[in-house]
Structure 1
């Protein structure tokens, strides 16, 4: 919800604080609530409920689409950012972070001071956080979500502080939670008082990560629950520190490109996205991104791409630090050119695409992409060439002209054959006589995409007196109730 509020506030005005706002995702039986704001929480709305059911009770409910993928990416970045407090951090589900601060609290003045620093720095980032500290991973997870905010639990207080929490705090599934509720075990304290032998018979076939008894033992410290924090990914970065400020970065690009490409060659990697950053003496920085059509680590090629992106960079009063970083890399095995000195054609094509894109822009260098559609002008789309390889053309059941006019050009019918193509028509001020024709091929409107009232098309292949073949169509049928007389258009030209 914090992420949605920050992103939405940059584009439009947020709803009033009294309006219940929820983020919805697609569920098995329609949209369900994924996250909710403070006003929605105050009304008793909870995550997982169907949107239609909540709207029946709260007609003023404001629903926005959720972005689980974006939220996951943000949480992953926040988990790495949280390593400012300790080196062992990991994501905790879809909405949390677990940190092993063993031996690190004294660096911040103690556990209470560390929690205060965490809360302040999360608030500075525009993120709300419920914090708790406990001797075990499970206890900290439960206290942060179901206990009092800012709880610091000592080794001797774990059982006491967990006892009043509901059994769902153990992160068990709905069936197990329903079973414990029917048995009268609604809190963790009630679960701890029941003899273990009786409960083990009921849960001996449940996996350890969903077994309430195993989860309880981990939270109480009876079983080990180590934190397996992944290491931070390696950054492929080349730096150039200058003894005094300069204005022109070009003389320093050779060393940066060679250094970065050497690092990538040793790891058998190639770069797909580069970022050149200059750090000015006044504390400001400027950057330029460069993408490649395929993985590359040729320093000369990288230099040609960078030199086309330096125009417009404001150096200010000079800069004393440059960095060249590979933001996205792909495996690229070591290879050599042919013995006769030739190169692979694919590598030359990729290099050409890179240079054209860097000079003209990604929106001007495109590949075709094929779309499922009945209408010929919608079959082919365009995507930036750097996003991937061109798609193979679709297999068509009928012949199509090699050249389509965009948009189709209207023709003037001089004489029309009943239920057939025009016997004579004028296109671009030239009159043509139809000698042969084939058709019609009827293409109906796409009712799920076109506006109501769109007329169907009858396509004909016609050959005129000089041997040229055209692809024309009649839009509409006389008396179809969707307009006046039909109109004729020339849509394509055959080779």
Structure 2
């Protein structure tokens, strides 16, 4: 009997989703208007403020008919269409919508990735049969987006670059929901008629290619196959490391000669507590009562996950549709409901309830693992608001998150560079490994101070030194500990240091060092400095 053959790997298939009018569709949905009605009855342009004035990001059908185009200055567009109405765009909201769509699009594949500013990529390898084939998968995706009020163009291809090119510049056949490039089909031949803009290149690179007479992907392929053409392009773009600035890299990614790394979107399940109120509330006492309930609910959710909150966001929805958000950050992960409410109380004094608040939501947008611990003195202190973390939280809430700093270790063997200051509420590095040194003094001077030292031999240990006008007799010495300069950031003339821990005849202990060695070729006689006081 012959051994069973190993199962073959299915060909890779990537679905590209281009939300061609993402910003406009989102704006129209916010107005609750259907396409072609209301929002499209007058020329409208979404704009962004720039240093040279408002610039158009997108225009609706009436605006395009009047001459407005994306990238035009608003003043130029209004000379062509005086009735053009300008509406401020919301790039952050568009990005958030795209991220939500990426998580939602995993219904068609195991993972999805963002392709800003308005495209998504979904891995649909070996899943099309679950929908009845790739044609029906595209039809299902199109119908789902249409129901959400979003206009999309779809394509499936073996590579992300080919799928993106087809979705943006390809033409689907009549009756089909999108373009499909079959497995094994010649990618370069199928896409030869598409413009070079289908390579996802920067605008300045596209300008250079057009000046060279390269306007289609077929011409790019001909240059690559024509002997020295690829070398000539490589020389012209040899300093361009980014794929979007190098047409050869994009061509290789499009045809599958080199892989294209994609970063999947991983949705995070954030702890959430919410209250929909039967009657809108307008008074602070009722607001505090609901906040207490939300904090208690949040603590239960965090306990179930074995986590503590580092950042909390309290959202207040008013009856008139206005939303107010207040944020808190903690110096350490916490599940103390009373501590949360005490800090939020200082942020709710300026809340305008309007005609009433009907919904309150508490979300932990940043949480960390926090094990359950038996109550002890430190936890009892925190309950009374006197622990270090609680003190930092209260100071940061009253003075601002940037007004409170704390020292953190820094990877440097030089004592004066081994510590830095950072805002107290910032996250610790993921991999913080403490450098192992000899014992360091508890107190370092802000700047090492020069001292006069008497010693038996030029390279021996000190016997007597003078500091700040006083002479100290040395009775005990430990050392030396030699520290070399940081050669990757210092000049080659920087001298070595030999550190000594010394004790004088009065029992006081100091940390001093000799700067340089006799005959090291980096200066004259060594200098001595006092840098720290030992316990």
* TM-score bin (small chain): 0.5 to 0.7
Classify 1:143/1:293 alpha carbon distance in 2 versus 1 (closer, same or farther; 3 Å).
closer
Q: What does the per-residue CA deviation read over 1:288-315, in whole Å, with 9 as the maximum and x for residues that have no partner?
A: x99885654136788999xxxxxx9x9x
- Distance in 1 (CA, whole Å) between partners of 2:59 and 2:384 is 54
| Match in the other structure for 2:72 | 49
Instruction: State the Cα deviation string for residues 301-355 of structure 1 (Å, max 9, x = none).
Output: 88999xxxxxx9x9xxxxxxxxx9844334587797646954466579x99xxxx
Tell me, yes or no, if structure 1 residue 138 matches structure 2 residue 161.
Answer: yes
| 2:302 matches 1:261 | yes
Q: How far apart are 1:389 and its partner, in Å? A: 3.7
Q: 1:297 aligns with which of 308, 312, 335?
A: 335
Taking the aligned partners of 2:126 and 2:362, their CA distance within structure 1 comes to 34
RCO higher in 1 or 2 (8 Å CA, sep ≥ 6)? 2
Structure 1 residues 166 and 40, CA, compared in 2 at 3 Å: closer, same or farther?
A: farther
Q: 1:99 aligned to 2:122? A: yes
Which residue among 267, 282, 287 is the counterpart of 1:232? 267
Question: Is 1:127 paired with 2:150?
Answer: yes
Matched, 1:216 2:216: no
Report the Cα offset of residue 53 of structure 1: 1.3
Distance change >3 Å, CA 16–CA 23, structure 1 → 2? closer
Does residue 1:161 correspond to 2:190, yes or no?
yes
Is 1:63 matched with 2:93? Answer: no
Deviation at 1:254?
A: 12
SS of alignment partner, residue 312 of structure 2: strand
> Relative to structure 1, is the Cα distance of residues 347 and 24 closer, same or farther in structure 2, using a 3 angstrom cutoff?
farther
- d(CA) in 1 for partners of 2:264, 2:170: 25
SS in 2 for 1:47: coil
- Written as runs of structure 1 = structure 2, the 5 A alignment for 1:411-430 is none
Select which of 209, 216, 221 maps to 1:187.
Answer: 216
Residues 178 and 293 of structure 1, relative CA distance in 2, 3 Å threshold: closer
Whole-Å separation in 2 of the counterparts to 1:62 and 1:339: 61
Aligned pairs for 1:351-366 within 5 A: none
Q: CA RMSD in A?
A: 4.4
1:74: Cα distance to partner?
1.0
Note the 1:83-482 alignment, pairs <5 A: 83-149=106-172, 150-155=178-183, 156-194=185-223, 195=226, 196-209=230-243, 210-236=245-271, 259-263=300-304, 266-270=306-310, 272-273=312-313, 296-298=334-336, 326-331=363-368, 338=377, 341-343=380-382, 346=385, 388-390=397-399
1:424 corresponds to: none
Structure 1 residue runs without a partner (length 5+): 239-251, 276-288, 306-311, 315-323, 352-384, 393-495
SS in 1 for 2:101: helix
3-state secondary structure, aligned to 1:232: coil
Match of 1:82 in 2: 105
Q: What is the CA distance between 1:20 and its match in structure 2?
A: 2.7
Q: CA deviation at 1:8?
A: 2.9
Deviation at 1:111, TM superposition (A): 0.6
CA separation of 1:116 and 1:255: change in aligned 2, threshold 3 A: same
Counterpart CA distance in 2 for 1:126 and 1:340 is 52
Q: Is the CA contact (8 Å cut-off) linking 1:100 and 1:227 kept in structure 2?
A: no
Which stretches in structure 2 are left out of the alignment for 5+ residues?
1-23, 173-177, 274-292, 316-323, 344-355, 402-535
In the TM superposition, what is the alpha-carbon distance from 1:235 to its structure 2 partner?
3.9
Q: What is the CA deviation profile of residues 176-223 of structure 1, one whole-angstrom value per residue up to 9, with x for unaligned ones?
A: 111111111111111111132232221222124120111011111111
Q: How far did residue 67 of structure 1 move?
A: 0.5
Separation of aligned partners in 2, 1:113 and 1:254:
47
The whole-number CA distance in structure 2 between the counterparts of 1:130 and 1:24 is 24
TM-score (norm 2): 0.51
Task: Determine the C-alpha separation between the residues in 2 that align with 1:299 and 1:33.
Answer: 47
Checking the alignment, whether the CA contact within 8 Å between 2:68 and 2:80 is kept in structure 1 is: no
TM-score (ref. length: structure 1): 0.55
The structural deviation recorded for 1:169 is: 1.9
Q: Sort the Cα spacing of 1:110 and 1:226 in 2 relative to 1 into closer, same or farther, 3 A.
A: farther
Alignment deviations for residues 226-282 of structure 1 (CA, whole Å, 9 cap, x no partner): 4331422244379xxxxxxxxxxxxx9999666423245x3343562489xxxxxxx
How far did 1:144 drift?
1.0
CA contact 1:24–1:66 (8 Å) conserved in 2: yes
